[in-house]
Homo-oligomer: A and B are copies of this chain.
Amino acid sequence: MEDTLFSDQIGPLRNNIDRIDSQILTLLAKRQEQVEQVAALKKQCDMPVYHPAREEDMISRLRTRAREKGLDPDVTENLFRVIIRQSRVKQTFSMQYKGVRSGAAVLIIGGAGQMGAMFASLFEKSGYRVRILTESDWEAAPRLCEGIDLALVSVPIEHTVAVIEKIAPFLPAGALLADLTSVKKDPVAAMYKNHTGPVLGLHPLFGPTTSSLDKQIIVYTPGRDMTAGHWLVEQLGLWGAIPVHAAPVEHDEIMEIVQALRHFATFCFGRFLFEKQVKIQRTLEFSSPIYRLELGMVGRLFAQDAGLYAQIIFATKERRQLLKQFAASLTQHIEMLENKDISAFTRQFDEIAEWFGPFSDQALRESTFLIDRLIERF
Protein backbone atom coordinates (compact mmCIF):
# COMPACT_ATOMS: atom_id res chain seq x y z
CA MET A 1 0.00 0.00 0.00
CA GLU A 2 2.85 2.32 0.84
CA ASP A 3 4.36 1.46 -2.50
CA THR A 4 1.24 2.70 -4.24
CA LEU A 5 1.30 5.85 -2.16
CA PHE A 6 4.88 6.37 -3.25
CA SER A 7 4.37 5.79 -6.96
CA ASP A 8 1.23 7.93 -7.00
CA GLN A 9 2.91 10.86 -5.38
CA ILE A 10 6.48 10.75 -6.70
CA GLY A 11 5.42 11.17 -10.35
CA PRO A 12 3.94 14.68 -10.08
CA LEU A 13 6.86 15.85 -7.91
CA ARG A 14 9.40 14.57 -10.43
CA ASN A 15 7.46 16.24 -13.23
CA ASN A 16 7.59 19.52 -11.32
CA ILE A 17 11.35 19.17 -10.93
CA ASP A 18 11.78 18.41 -14.64
CA ARG A 19 9.65 21.43 -15.56
CA ILE A 20 11.74 23.68 -13.30
CA ASP A 21 14.97 22.29 -14.79
CA SER A 22 13.67 23.03 -18.25
CA GLN A 23 12.90 26.62 -17.24
CA ILE A 24 16.41 26.95 -15.81
CA LEU A 25 17.82 25.80 -19.15
CA THR A 26 15.76 28.40 -20.99
CA LEU A 27 17.11 31.11 -18.71
CA LEU A 28 20.69 29.86 -19.19
CA ALA A 29 20.22 30.10 -22.94
CA LYS A 30 18.87 33.66 -22.60
CA ARG A 31 21.81 34.49 -20.35
CA GLN A 32 24.19 33.19 -22.97
CA GLU A 33 22.66 35.50 -25.59
CA GLN A 34 23.25 38.50 -23.34
CA VAL A 35 26.81 37.38 -22.65
CA GLU A 36 27.46 37.11 -26.38
CA GLN A 37 26.28 40.69 -26.82
CA VAL A 38 28.60 41.80 -24.02
CA ALA A 39 31.49 39.98 -25.71
CA ALA A 40 30.76 41.62 -29.05
CA LEU A 41 30.59 45.03 -27.38
CA LYS A 42 33.86 44.46 -25.51
CA LYS A 43 35.54 43.41 -28.72
CA GLN A 44 34.22 46.46 -30.56
CA CYS A 45 35.42 48.78 -27.77
CA ASP A 46 38.67 46.95 -27.10
CA MET A 47 37.81 46.20 -23.49
CA PRO A 48 39.25 43.27 -21.53
CA VAL A 49 37.09 40.18 -21.03
CA TYR A 50 37.91 39.55 -17.41
CA HIS A 51 36.50 42.03 -14.96
CA PRO A 52 37.31 40.65 -11.50
CA ALA A 53 35.51 43.41 -9.59
CA ARG A 54 32.29 42.89 -11.56
CA GLU A 55 32.49 39.13 -10.99
CA GLU A 56 33.08 39.37 -7.25
CA ASP A 57 30.31 41.92 -6.95
CA MET A 58 27.90 39.64 -8.80
CA ILE A 59 28.85 36.70 -6.60
CA SER A 60 28.37 38.67 -3.38
CA ARG A 61 24.93 39.83 -4.44
CA LEU A 62 23.97 36.32 -5.56
CA ARG A 63 25.04 34.90 -2.21
CA THR A 64 22.88 37.41 -0.37
CA ARG A 65 19.86 36.72 -2.56
CA ALA A 66 20.38 32.97 -2.27
CA ARG A 67 20.30 33.27 1.50
CA GLU A 68 17.08 35.30 1.31
CA LYS A 69 15.49 32.58 -0.78
CA GLY A 70 16.58 29.80 1.60
CA LEU A 71 19.28 28.45 -0.72
CA ASP A 72 22.75 27.42 0.42
CA PRO A 73 24.99 30.39 -0.48
CA ASP A 74 28.07 28.20 -1.04
CA VAL A 75 26.31 25.89 -3.45
CA THR A 76 24.83 28.89 -5.24
CA GLU A 77 28.27 30.46 -5.52
CA ASN A 78 29.66 27.22 -6.96
CA LEU A 79 26.93 27.13 -9.57
CA PHE A 80 27.40 30.68 -10.69
CA ARG A 81 31.18 30.33 -10.76
CA VAL A 82 30.67 27.57 -13.32
CA ILE A 83 28.21 29.70 -15.29
CA ILE A 84 30.40 32.81 -15.18
CA ARG A 85 33.56 30.98 -16.10
CA GLN A 86 31.80 29.42 -19.05
CA SER A 87 30.74 32.84 -20.26
CA ARG A 88 34.27 34.15 -19.79
CA VAL A 89 35.76 31.26 -21.73
CA LYS A 90 33.26 31.93 -24.51
CA GLN A 91 34.18 35.60 -24.58
CA THR A 92 37.90 34.85 -24.45
CA PHE A 93 37.65 32.36 -27.27
CA SER A 94 36.14 34.91 -29.57
CA MET A 95 38.60 37.58 -28.47
CA GLN A 96 41.88 36.12 -27.44
CA TYR A 97 43.48 36.04 -30.84
CA LYS A 98 43.18 39.73 -31.36
CA GLY A 99 46.65 41.09 -32.02
CA VAL A 100 47.80 44.28 -30.31
CA ARG A 101 50.36 44.68 -33.10
CA SER A 102 49.14 42.33 -35.79
CA GLY A 103 51.58 42.24 -38.65
CA ALA A 104 54.62 42.88 -36.45
CA ALA A 105 57.52 40.44 -36.95
CA VAL A 106 58.30 38.14 -34.02
CA LEU A 107 61.39 35.94 -33.82
CA ILE A 108 61.20 33.07 -31.36
CA ILE A 109 64.61 31.76 -30.41
CA GLY A 110 64.06 28.18 -29.36
CA GLY A 111 60.73 28.19 -31.17
CA ALA A 112 60.95 24.45 -31.78
CA GLY A 113 60.82 23.70 -28.05
CA GLN A 114 57.43 23.11 -26.42
CA MET A 115 57.15 26.53 -24.81
CA GLY A 116 58.48 28.34 -27.86
CA ALA A 117 56.05 26.45 -30.09
CA MET A 118 53.13 27.39 -27.85
CA PHE A 119 53.94 31.09 -28.11
CA ALA A 120 54.65 30.81 -31.84
CA SER A 121 51.17 29.44 -32.31
CA LEU A 122 49.56 32.19 -30.21
CA PHE A 123 51.40 34.93 -32.11
CA GLU A 124 50.48 33.38 -35.43
CA LYS A 125 46.80 33.14 -34.56
CA SER A 126 46.89 36.81 -33.62
CA GLY A 127 48.20 37.87 -37.00
CA TYR A 128 51.88 38.33 -36.25
CA ARG A 129 54.56 37.29 -38.74
CA VAL A 130 56.39 34.59 -36.80
CA ARG A 131 59.93 33.36 -37.46
CA ILE A 132 61.61 30.50 -35.64
CA LEU A 133 65.29 30.19 -34.82
CA THR A 134 66.55 26.81 -33.65
CA GLU A 135 69.91 25.70 -32.31
CA SER A 136 70.76 23.82 -35.49
CA ASP A 137 70.02 26.86 -37.60
CA TRP A 138 72.23 29.55 -36.09
CA GLU A 139 73.74 30.65 -39.39
CA ALA A 140 70.26 31.93 -40.31
CA ALA A 141 70.22 34.27 -37.30
CA PRO A 142 71.34 37.48 -39.07
CA ARG A 143 68.75 37.04 -41.81
CA LEU A 144 65.94 36.06 -39.39
CA CYS A 145 66.66 39.09 -37.19
CA GLU A 146 66.22 41.57 -40.02
CA GLY A 147 63.40 44.01 -39.34
CA ILE A 148 61.96 42.14 -36.37
CA ASP A 149 59.90 43.95 -33.72
CA LEU A 150 60.33 41.32 -31.01
CA ALA A 151 62.94 38.66 -30.21
CA LEU A 152 61.67 36.17 -27.65
CA VAL A 153 64.26 33.86 -26.07
CA SER A 154 62.73 30.51 -25.12
CA VAL A 155 65.62 28.16 -24.33
CA PRO A 156 66.59 26.04 -21.30
CA ILE A 157 67.64 28.05 -18.27
CA GLU A 158 71.30 27.02 -18.44
CA HIS A 159 71.63 28.41 -21.99
CA THR A 160 69.62 31.62 -21.60
CA VAL A 161 72.44 34.04 -20.91
CA ALA A 162 74.71 32.60 -23.61
CA VAL A 163 71.91 32.71 -26.19
CA ILE A 164 71.13 36.32 -25.29
CA GLU A 165 74.78 37.28 -25.78
CA LYS A 166 74.83 35.47 -29.11
CA ILE A 167 71.61 36.91 -30.56
CA ALA A 168 71.90 40.52 -29.32
CA PRO A 169 74.39 41.75 -31.99
CA PHE A 170 71.95 40.86 -34.78
CA LEU A 171 68.93 42.69 -33.35
CA PRO A 172 67.62 45.95 -34.80
CA ALA A 173 68.22 48.70 -32.20
CA GLY A 174 64.50 49.33 -31.71
CA ALA A 175 63.47 45.66 -31.38
CA LEU A 176 62.06 44.47 -28.07
CA LEU A 177 64.19 41.73 -26.50
CA ALA A 178 62.36 39.42 -24.09
CA ASP A 179 62.89 36.00 -22.53
CA LEU A 180 60.76 33.27 -20.92
CA THR A 181 63.23 31.97 -18.31
CA SER A 182 62.12 30.96 -14.82
CA VAL A 183 64.82 33.05 -13.16
CA LYS A 184 64.98 36.73 -13.98
CA LYS A 185 67.99 38.46 -12.43
CA ASP A 186 70.76 37.15 -14.68
CA PRO A 187 68.77 36.94 -17.95
CA VAL A 188 67.40 40.50 -17.58
CA ALA A 189 70.87 41.79 -16.70
CA ALA A 190 72.31 40.01 -19.75
CA MET A 191 69.63 41.45 -22.05
CA TYR A 192 70.19 44.93 -20.59
CA LYS A 193 73.93 44.68 -21.10
CA ASN A 194 73.92 43.22 -24.60
CA HIS A 195 71.00 45.04 -26.22
CA THR A 196 70.54 48.81 -26.31
CA GLY A 197 66.83 48.73 -27.17
CA PRO A 198 63.80 47.87 -25.01
CA VAL A 199 64.16 44.85 -22.71
CA LEU A 200 61.47 42.82 -20.93
CA GLY A 201 61.82 39.69 -18.78
CA LEU A 202 58.93 37.23 -18.69
CA HIS A 203 58.23 34.13 -16.63
CA PRO A 204 55.10 32.18 -17.53
CA LEU A 205 54.00 30.24 -14.45
CA PHE A 206 52.61 27.33 -16.40
CA GLY A 207 53.81 24.56 -18.62
CA PRO A 208 53.58 24.30 -22.40
CA THR A 209 50.78 21.73 -22.13
CA THR A 210 48.33 24.29 -20.70
CA SER A 211 45.18 24.27 -22.80
CA SER A 212 44.51 28.00 -22.52
CA LEU A 213 46.20 31.03 -20.97
CA ASP A 214 42.93 31.84 -19.18
CA LYS A 215 43.83 33.14 -15.68
CA GLN A 216 47.37 31.82 -15.96
CA ILE A 217 50.01 34.02 -14.39
CA ILE A 218 52.89 35.55 -16.34
CA VAL A 219 55.39 37.58 -14.34
CA TYR A 220 56.95 40.49 -16.23
CA THR A 221 60.10 42.21 -15.04
CA PRO A 222 60.83 45.38 -17.01
CA GLY A 223 64.44 45.84 -18.05
CA ARG A 224 64.51 48.98 -20.20
CA ASP A 225 61.93 51.25 -21.86
CA MET A 226 58.71 49.77 -20.55
CA THR A 227 56.73 52.12 -22.80
CA ALA A 228 58.12 50.34 -25.82
CA GLY A 229 57.58 46.92 -24.25
CA HIS A 230 54.10 47.44 -22.94
CA TRP A 231 52.29 46.12 -25.98
CA LEU A 232 53.64 42.65 -25.24
CA VAL A 233 52.24 42.69 -21.70
CA GLU A 234 48.94 43.87 -23.13
CA GLN A 235 49.01 41.05 -25.66
CA LEU A 236 49.50 38.47 -22.90
CA GLY A 237 46.48 39.94 -21.11
CA LEU A 238 44.38 39.70 -24.27
CA TRP A 239 45.29 36.02 -24.52
CA GLY A 240 43.64 35.64 -21.09
CA ALA A 241 46.77 35.58 -18.93
CA ILE A 242 47.20 37.72 -15.82
CA PRO A 243 50.44 39.71 -16.08
CA VAL A 244 52.02 40.33 -12.66
CA HIS A 245 54.72 42.95 -12.27
CA ALA A 246 57.90 42.42 -10.21
CA ALA A 247 61.50 43.54 -10.10
CA PRO A 248 63.89 40.75 -11.19
CA VAL A 249 65.36 40.33 -7.68
CA GLU A 250 61.95 40.17 -5.97
CA HIS A 251 60.80 37.69 -8.60
CA ASP A 252 63.76 35.42 -7.95
CA GLU A 253 63.31 35.58 -4.17
CA ILE A 254 59.66 34.64 -4.44
CA MET A 255 60.42 31.81 -6.83
CA GLU A 256 62.92 30.40 -4.34
CA ILE A 257 59.90 29.74 -2.14
CA VAL A 258 57.14 29.15 -4.68
CA GLN A 259 59.20 26.78 -6.81
CA ALA A 260 62.52 25.61 -5.34
CA LEU A 261 61.53 25.07 -1.70
CA ARG A 262 58.18 23.59 -2.55
CA HIS A 263 59.47 21.16 -5.17
CA PHE A 264 62.44 20.17 -3.03
CA ALA A 265 60.18 19.43 -0.05
CA THR A 266 57.89 17.37 -2.29
CA PHE A 267 60.83 15.53 -3.81
CA CYS A 268 62.19 14.63 -0.36
CA PHE A 269 58.77 13.42 0.76
CA GLY A 270 58.45 11.17 -2.29
CA ARG A 271 62.00 9.97 -1.84
CA PHE A 272 61.31 8.99 1.75
CA LEU A 273 58.18 7.04 0.77
CA PHE A 274 60.38 5.21 -1.71
CA GLU A 275 63.12 4.54 0.86
CA LYS A 276 60.51 3.12 3.26
CA GLN A 277 58.89 1.20 0.39
CA VAL A 278 55.50 2.40 1.57
CA LYS A 279 52.61 0.55 -0.06
CA ILE A 280 51.01 3.54 -1.75
CA GLN A 281 47.88 1.80 -2.98
CA ARG A 282 47.17 0.28 0.43
CA THR A 283 47.59 3.65 2.16
CA LEU A 284 45.09 5.09 -0.30
CA GLU A 285 42.46 2.63 0.87
CA PHE A 286 42.83 4.24 4.28
CA SER A 287 42.85 7.70 2.98
CA SER A 288 40.62 10.57 3.75
CA PRO A 289 40.12 12.59 0.55
CA ILE A 290 42.58 15.18 1.82
CA TYR A 291 45.36 12.58 2.04
CA ARG A 292 44.60 11.46 -1.47
CA LEU A 293 44.90 15.08 -2.56
CA GLU A 294 48.18 15.63 -0.71
CA LEU A 295 49.72 12.39 -1.91
CA GLY A 296 48.50 13.36 -5.37
CA MET A 297 50.61 16.52 -5.15
CA VAL A 298 53.65 14.30 -4.55
CA GLY A 299 52.77 11.77 -7.23
CA ARG A 300 52.09 14.59 -9.67
CA LEU A 301 55.67 15.84 -9.36
CA PHE A 302 57.08 12.49 -10.38
CA ALA A 303 54.81 12.26 -13.42
CA GLN A 304 56.69 15.22 -14.82
CA ASP A 305 60.13 15.90 -16.20
CA ALA A 306 63.10 15.28 -13.87
CA GLY A 307 65.26 17.73 -15.83
CA LEU A 308 62.77 20.55 -15.44
CA TYR A 309 62.66 20.12 -11.67
CA ALA A 310 66.43 19.75 -11.45
CA GLN A 311 66.71 23.10 -13.26
CA ILE A 312 64.30 24.73 -10.84
CA ILE A 313 65.87 23.31 -7.68
CA PHE A 314 69.51 23.74 -8.64
CA ALA A 315 69.11 27.05 -10.49
CA THR A 316 71.02 29.44 -8.21
CA LYS A 317 73.35 29.50 -5.23
CA GLU A 318 70.67 31.40 -3.27
CA ARG A 319 68.21 28.58 -3.82
CA ARG A 320 70.61 25.91 -2.68
CA GLN A 321 71.38 28.02 0.39
CA LEU A 322 67.68 28.34 1.22
CA LEU A 323 67.13 24.60 0.98
CA LYS A 324 70.02 24.02 3.34
CA GLN A 325 68.34 26.33 5.85
CA PHE A 326 65.14 24.37 5.38
CA ALA A 327 66.84 21.07 6.20
CA ALA A 328 68.43 22.64 9.26
CA SER A 329 65.08 24.01 10.44
CA LEU A 330 63.42 20.63 10.02
CA THR A 331 66.19 18.87 11.91
CA GLN A 332 65.73 21.25 14.84
CA HIS A 333 62.17 20.02 15.26
CA ILE A 334 63.39 16.48 15.73
CA GLU A 335 64.83 17.50 19.06
CA MET A 336 61.38 18.72 20.09
CA LEU A 337 60.04 15.29 19.16
CA GLU A 338 62.70 13.41 21.07
CA ASN A 339 61.96 15.45 24.18
CA LYS A 340 58.25 14.77 23.65
CA ASP A 341 57.85 18.52 23.99
CA ILE A 342 54.19 18.79 23.06
CA SER A 343 53.85 22.23 24.58
CA ALA A 344 56.67 23.59 22.37
CA PHE A 345 54.87 22.08 19.39
CA THR A 346 51.48 23.61 20.18
CA ARG A 347 53.10 26.95 21.02
CA GLN A 348 54.90 27.03 17.67
CA PHE A 349 51.78 25.78 15.92
CA ASP A 350 49.65 28.59 17.33
CA GLU A 351 52.31 31.14 16.51
CA ILE A 352 52.39 30.01 12.89
CA ALA A 353 48.59 29.87 12.77
CA GLU A 354 48.40 33.46 13.90
CA TRP A 355 51.02 34.50 11.39
CA PHE A 356 49.16 32.77 8.55
CA GLY A 357 46.13 34.75 9.66
CA PRO A 358 43.08 34.80 7.42
CA PHE A 359 44.90 32.75 4.78
CA SER A 360 44.46 29.62 6.90
CA ASP A 361 40.69 29.89 7.00
CA GLN A 362 40.56 30.71 3.35
CA ALA A 363 42.79 27.69 2.64
CA LEU A 364 40.55 25.47 4.71
CA ARG A 365 37.51 26.71 2.80
CA GLU A 366 39.14 26.33 -0.59
CA SER A 367 40.55 22.89 0.08
CA THR A 368 37.26 21.70 1.54
CA PHE A 369 35.57 22.88 -1.64
CA LEU A 370 38.07 20.86 -3.68
CA ILE A 371 37.70 17.79 -1.51
CA ASP A 372 33.97 17.93 -2.16
CA ARG A 373 34.69 18.01 -5.90
CA LEU A 374 37.06 15.06 -5.45
CA ILE A 375 34.39 13.08 -3.59
CA GLU A 376 31.83 13.91 -6.25
CA ARG A 377 34.05 12.79 -9.02
CA PHE A 378 36.13 9.80 -7.87
Q: Is the CB of A299 within 8 A of B363?
A: yes
Q: Is the CB of A6 within 8 A of B45?
A: yes
A residues 288-331 in Cβ contact with B at 8 Å? 288-300, 302-304, 306-307, 309-310, 313-314, 320, 322-327, 329-331
Select A302's contact among B9, B272, B356, beta carbons within 8 Å: B356
- Cα-based distance from A296 to B66 in the complex (angstroms): 27
Q: Is the CB of B82 within 8 A of A309?
A: no
Give how many copies assemble into the complex: 2
Q: Is the CB of B329 within 8 A of A275?
A: yes
A143 cross-chain contacts in B, Cβ below 8 A: none
Given contacts A303-B353, A313-B337, A349-B309, contact A78 B71 (CB under 8 A): no
Q: Is the CB of B337 within 8 A of A375?
A: no
> Whole-angstrom distance from the CB of A57 to the nearest CB of chain B?
10
Task: Tell me if A206 is interfacial: C-beta within 8 Å of chain B.
Answer: yes
- Cα-based distance from A270 to B275 in the complex (angstroms): 24
Q: Is the CB of B324 within 8 A of A338?
A: yes
Q: Is the CB of A303 within 8 A of B345?
A: no
Stretch at the interface among A30-38, A113-121, A130-138: A30-38
Q: Is the CB of A288 within 8 A of B16?
A: no
- Cα-based distance from A369 to B377 in the complex (angstroms): 9
A367 cross-chain contacts in B, Cβ below 8 A: 293, 296-297, 300
Stretch at the interface among A164-172, A185-193, A226-234, A256-264: A256-264
Stretch at the interface among A104-112, A194-202, A210-218: A210-218
Task: Tell me if A102 is interfacial: C-beta within 8 Å of chain B.
Answer: no
> Whole-angstrom distance from the CB of A192 to the nearest CB of chain B?
22
Q: Is the CB of A302 within 8 A of B353?
A: yes
- Cα-based distance from A173 to B360 in the complex (angstroms): 48
Task: Tell me if A60 is interfacial: C-beta within 8 Å of chain B.
Answer: no
A300 cross-chain contacts in B, Cβ below 8 A: 290, 360, 363-364, 367
A62 cross-chain contacts in B, Cβ below 8 A: 21, 25
Q: Is the CB of A359 within 8 A of B281?
A: yes
Q: Is the CB of B254 within 8 A of A286?
A: yes
Q: Is the CB of B86 within 8 A of A82?
A: no
Task: Tell me if A249 is interfacial: C-beta within 8 Å of chain B.
Answer: no
Q: Which of A24, A70, A261 has the most CB of B within 10 A?
A: A24
Task: Tell me if A139 is interfacial: C-beta within 8 Å of chain B.
Answer: no
Q: Is the CB of A21 within 8 A of B286?
A: no
Q: Is the CB of B31 within 8 A of A20?
A: yes
Task: Tell me if A162 is interfacial: C-beta within 8 Å of chain B.
Answer: no
List 16 additional contacts besides A270-B352, A302-B360, A327-B333; criterion CB under 8 Å: A6-B42, A10-B41, A24-B24, A28-B71, A75-B86, A85-B376, A257-B276, A266-B294, A267-B345, A268-B329, A272-B325, A296-B366, A299-B360, A299-B362, A302-B352, A331-B331
Cross-chain pairs A/B with CB under 8 angstroms, 27 sampled:
A5-B45, A9-B41, A13-B37, A18-B58, A18-B61, A20-B30, A21-B58, A29-B70, A72-B86, A75-B82, A78-B82, A205-B286, A246-B286, A251-B286, A261-B272, A262-B294, A271-B329, A273-B352, A276-B322, A281-B359, A302-B349, A302-B353, A303-B364, A306-B345, A323-B334, A324-B334, A324-B337
